[in-house]
Chains A and B, each alone.
Chain A
Amino acid sequence: MTAAPSTVRARETTRRPGRSPARVVGKLIRQATLLAAGLTALFPIYFMTATALKGEDEYLDDKWGLPWPLAWGNFGDAVGGGDFADWFRNSAIFTVGSVVLSTVIAALAAFAIARMRFRGRDALLTVNVALLVVPPVVMILPLFVLFTQLELVSTYRGVILIYAGLTTPFSVYMLTNFFRSIPRELIESALTDGASHLRVLLQIVVPLSLPALVTLVVVNSLYVWNELLIALVFLPEDELKTLMVGLTVFRSRYNLDVPVTMAGMLLAALPMIILYVFGQRFFIRGLTAGAVKG
C-alpha cells in the first residue's frame, strides 16, 4: 500500500531538483503555515502544563511565561481536593467493561455476518451502519426511564450496557469488513478438518485480526473514556462519577485557583498523552482504518 521507506527517500531527492527562488519561497510558506498550525495546536497544552506548575500569585502576574520555581504542590492540592483515584477507577471500569463486552459481542456477530449464509444477514449489517449516526442524546430520556424501572441507574452494569450498545454498531461494521478480507480457504480447510465454528473464530480468525482488534479497542476506549453526557445523566451518585464528570465538579470547586485546576486537567490528560506517545501508530491507524478503506 504505502511506499517502502527507501523509495520515499529516493523520490524525495528527485522531487527537489534545484534551488530556484520560487522553490525557496514555496518552501518557506509551507514551513510557516505548518509552524503556525503547530503552535496553535500546542499553545493551550503548553498553557495547561505551565500554569499547573505556577504558584497562584505567579499565575496572576504572568499568565503565559515559563513557571519558576516549579510549584509541584498544585498536584498534591489537586489530588487532595478531587477524588481522582475514584474517578480514574470508575472510568477504567466502565471503559474496560464496555469495550470487552462490545468487542466479544461484535466479534461473534461479525463472524456470522462475514462468513456464514443466513436470512437477514445483509439487513443486520445495514442496521448497524444506520445506527452509527444516531445521536446518543436522542436515546437518553427513554433509556433513563427504562433503567429507573430496571434499577440500572447508578450501577456499573447499567452504564456498561449503554456504552457497549453505543459502540457495538461501529465494532460490527469494522470487524465484518476485516473478517471478509481473511482468505476463505483457511477457514474452510479448518472446518473440513473437523474444527468447530467457535474454534475457527478463536484460533484462526481472531489471531489473524489482531491489528483490527487492537485498533477497535483503541477507538472504543477513547470514546468511552472521554464520554460526558451519559455519565452525567446515568451516574448521579458521587462514588460512581467518572473522570470526565469529576473534572467538571473539580473545576467548579477550584474555579478561582487556576493553577490547581490546570494541575487537575494535566493529571486527567496524562494517561492518554502517555499512551499516545508510546502507541501513536495504533491511535492514528485505528482512528483512520474504518474510513480510509471503506
Chain B
Amino acid sequence: MLRTRPWVPYLYVAPMVCLLALIFGYSLVRVFDFSGRLIRGASGMWTGFLNYDLVLEDPTFRKAVENSALLLLAVPILTVISLLISVLLFDRVRGWRIYRSVLFLPYILAIPVVGIIFSYVFQLNGVLNEILRGLGFDALALDWIGDESLALWSVLFVIVWREVGFGIVLFLARLMSMDETQLEAAQIDGAGWFQRFRYIILPELRGTIEFYAVVAMITMLSGVFAYVFTLTQGGPGNATQIVEFYIYNQGVRNSLPGLASAVAVLLLLTTLILIAVLFRVRARATEEQLG
C-alpha cells in the first residue's frame, strides 16, 4: 500500500464521488420524497402515502407486477439453456467456435433493432406464420403479439433469444478456465457424459451459475423496457404491461411523477432485496475459493 499525504487519495476519488452523488445520490434520495407528493413541475403538496394507495388500487399496476413476475421465468430458462449449450460447446463439437460466434451474435444487436425485427416476424401475416402455413401447421399460425394470452410469452421468447448469448459465452469462458485434469481422470475411469456433468462440471460452475442467475434476475426487473417499448408498447390492452414501462408511462407520458415515483420506490426496494442476495452469493463464492 502506498504512503501518501493524507489528502491525496481523496483528490483521486473526488470526481467519482461528485458524479455518483449527482446522478445516483440525488435521485435516490429525491425519489422517496417525490413518492409522497403530488408533483407538479419541480415539487408539490405532501400527500403522505396517497400515491402508494392509488398505485396499489390500479389494476394496470397489478397487471404490470404480475407480468414482471412472470418474466422472471426467463431466469431459469436462460440459465438452463446457456448451461446446456455451453457444455455442448465445451465438448469441442466440430465447429464449436463458429457456433459460439453465431450464438453470441444476437447479443450484440441493439434491443430496439431486435424488437422491431421481431414485431414483423411475429405479425399475423408475418414470416413465422407464413412458414408455419407453408409446412402445413395452419393451426399453429397464431397472432403471436396481437393475442392477449400469447403476447407476453412472445416477449419472453425475444428476451431469451437475445440474452442467452451472454450466458453461453460466460459459462463457456468459465469452463475453459477450469482445471481439466479431473475431467480427464473421470473419463479414464469410465465416467459417462452425464456423470461428468453432474459430479464435476456442475459443482465447478456453481458460483458462476448463481452469479448469472442474479444478473439475469436484475436484467428482467430493470433492463427489459426497450423490448416492450419496441415490440408491443405494453399491449394489446395491458397484456405486456411491465413495471418499468408503467413507471415510464405514468411519469413521462401521463405527467404523474409522484405516482411513478411511488412505483419506482417499490421497484428499488425489490431490487435492494436482490442486492442482499447478490452479496450473500458473492460472500459464499469467495469463501469457497479460499477453501
Contacts and interface: CB of A to CB of B under 8 A. Distances in A.
Interface of A: 1-3, 8, 11-12, 14-15, 26-27, 30-31, 33-34, 37-38, 40-42, 44-45, 47-48, 51, 63-64, 104-106, 108-109, 111-113, 115-118, 121, 124, 127-131, 133-146, 148-149, 161-162, 164-166, 168-169, 172, 184, 187-188, 191, 197, 222, 225-226, 228-229, 232-233, 243-244, 247-248, 251, 258, 261-262, 265, 268-269, 272-273, 276, 280, 283-285, 287-288, 291-292, 294
Interface residues on B, range: 35 or more
Contacts of A269: 109-110, 113
5 contacts: A37-B85, A134-B271, A188-B2, A247-B112, A273-B108
B33 to A, nearest CB: 8
Contact of A117 (B1, B16, B94): B1
Interface string B9-32: 110110111011011101110110
Which residue among B208, B226, B265 has the maximum number of chain A CB atoms within 10 Å of its CB? B226
A228 B225 contact: yes
A38 B116 contact: no
Contact of B19 (A12, A47, A161): A161
B264 interface: yes
A109 B99 contact: no
Given A3-B180, A292-B177, A165 B19 contact: yes
Given A168-B20, A294-B282, 14 more contacts: A117-B3, A133-B278, A135-B271, A136-B222, A138-B264, A140-B251, A165-B22, A165-B23, A191-B2, A247-B116, A268-B113, A284-B173, A287-B166, A291-B170
Contacts of A41: 102-103, 105-106, 161, 165
B16 A197 contact: no
Nearest to A23: B193
B104 interface: yes
B218 A276 contact: no
Interface of B: 1-4, 6, 8-10, 12-13, 15-17, 19-20, 22-24, 26-28, 30-31, 34, 39, 41-42, 84-85, 88-89, 91-96, 99-114, 116-118, 120-121, 126-127, 130-131, 161, 165-166, 169-170, 173-174, 176-177, 180, 184, 187, 193, 208, 211-212, 215, 218, 221-223, 225-226, 229-230, 244, 247-248, 251-252, 257, 260-261, 264-265, 267-268, 271, 274-275, 278-279, 282
Contacts, number: 299
A123 B107 CA distance: 34
Contacts of B10: 112, 118
